[in-house]
Amino acid sequence: MFNFEKLDDGPAKNISTEVTADMVKISLKSDPSKYCIMPQKFVDQDLERIKNMEIFEDDIWIVTYPKCGTTWTQEMIWMIHNNLDYETSSKVQLADRFPFLEWSGIIKNFTIDTFEDCKTRPRPRYIKSHLPLFLLPDQLWTVKPKIIYVARNPKDTVVSWFHHHTHLHCYNGTKEDLIEAFLTDLMLYSPMNDHVLDFWKIRDQPNILFLFFEDMKRNLDQEVKRAVKFLDKNFSQEEIDKLCKHLSFESVKDNKMINKNEEIRMIKESIGVKFDPNAFSFVRKGQVGGYKKELTAKENEMLDEYSKWPTFEEFGFEYRF
């Protein structure tokens, strides 16, 4: 079903780190243009297990390309589906309520088996993944549980990727090298455009909710109501107002159950690096347009071109900025 090509040099090698090492291009034998960049560890440990994973109709999945508002959306969806259970959300880490399927397959020396953790969770299971459509479990498309997909514009995404890769994956290279890898679709989980478009094409299926990070930032009330309807819930405006306050950037950034300090500690310690809780915040800025302060004119122009992939027009897709 798949072809495998080790990426030993070039842009992918330039941004390799001790955390995410030995990158491989996984492509479909039936369509080599369909590919994803993942570590060798994922290929060896998780690829087949995930493809053959048993899926249940009451599963709740969140799928995104990395750095597109995943954590924020996880908290929103979990809260709505659990009837606004603030008590549990204040006591249990989001990562324990809504685990990351392939996490142990992308982090070197990470010993917890996150696939088994997700697989054996009590139902309804809440599962997060950054995998593209073609690497997700085959049964997702026959059982059809509810899937929430979130997209974000590439400029803010790549800036967030740079800070994430630097502080979380211990990358010590340049922003220019990372942007080159992103633009040539050789970053972890890339290509982004294919990732987004594959889900955009199926957005009208009744079990799919397609969200934009930018819409959530600009009108959270509206997007929360869309999610409430999608999950077959019914809340008063007062309850929705309270949830929106709970989901505000300031609240999420300061919430120890959401801000992922514990996950950062585990990743750092897996490679023998001391964790400093003041060095990096996973929930960093959460802005729309933050790229304007961090990209050069040339980088901005290159990302403009990337954001206007010709195939998008054919399917009526356009990034928000």
Residues identified as active-site: 130
Contacts of 80 (CB under 8 A, 6+ apart): 224, 227, 228, 231, 233, 235, 243
CA distance 237 to 203: 27
Per-residue tokens: 206:
């009744």
β-strands 35-39, 208-212 pairing:
unpaired
CA distance 320 to 49: 35
Q: What is the full DSSP assignment across 293-308?
A: GTS-HHHHHHHHHHHT
Q: Which residue has the tokens 């990426």?
A: 7
Question: Are the beta carbons of 85 and 40 closer than 8 angstroms?
Answer: no
Per-residue tokens: 181:
């890898």
> Rounded to an integer, what is the distance from CA 295 to the centroid of its chain?
22
The reply to whether omega before 124 is within 30° of 0 (cis) is: yes
